[in-house]
Amino acid sequence: MQDLENSFGYQLRLLHLEADRRARLALEAFGMTPARVTALLVIAAQTGCTQTALGEALSINRASAMKMVNALEALGLVSREPAADPRAHALTLTAAGSEALDAMLDALRKADEAMLAPLDPQAQRELLATIRLLAVQAGRGAG
């Protein structure tokens, strides 16, 4: 049995847990979670998307997507507009949502910088490139 010290999966999981902890701390002042920020990013990138499309992008079911949108709308970050399909709503960021998202992304960037601080800038770029490569390769092997 491989020891945990040299287990890629285990070490990656520990790193993920720490990155998630830091992201949650960075977003605490905004009353947000990483999942909600991800939803805002999807809506910003796909202005006018429906709740169904948001749910698909986040890999969550319709009920969870509706709950997420309800929460973001209650915070004044997202609005529902008429969509081409009269049974659906087009989601857009409000001005406050766009401004808040910028501030949240800045807080997350600072958390990432602190996490990566032990590495010099070149090592940081190489690590991120390696992670992206592994993610792409893992995606090709799935399904």
Q: Model-level pTM?
A: 0.85
Instruction: Report which of 109, 106, 31, 118 is spatially closest to residue 75, judged by C-alpha positions.
Output: 31
Which residue type occupies 36?
A: R
Q: What is the CA radius of gyration of the chain?
A: 18
- pLDDT of 37 reads 97
- The answer to whether 111 and 25 are in contact (CB under 8 A) is yes
Tens of pLDDT, residues 81-90 = 887 877 888 9
Please give the pLDDT value at position 143.
Answer: 45
Contact in structure between 102 and 117 (CB atoms under 8 Å)? no
Q: Which residue has the tokens 């766009």?
A: 98
Bigger pLDDT: 82 or 80?
80
Residue 31 C-beta-side C-alpha neighbours within 13 Å: 7
47-61 tens-digit pLDDT: 999 999 999 999 999
Give pLDDT tens digits for 96-142: 999 999 999 999 999 999 999 999 999 999 999 999 999 999 887 65
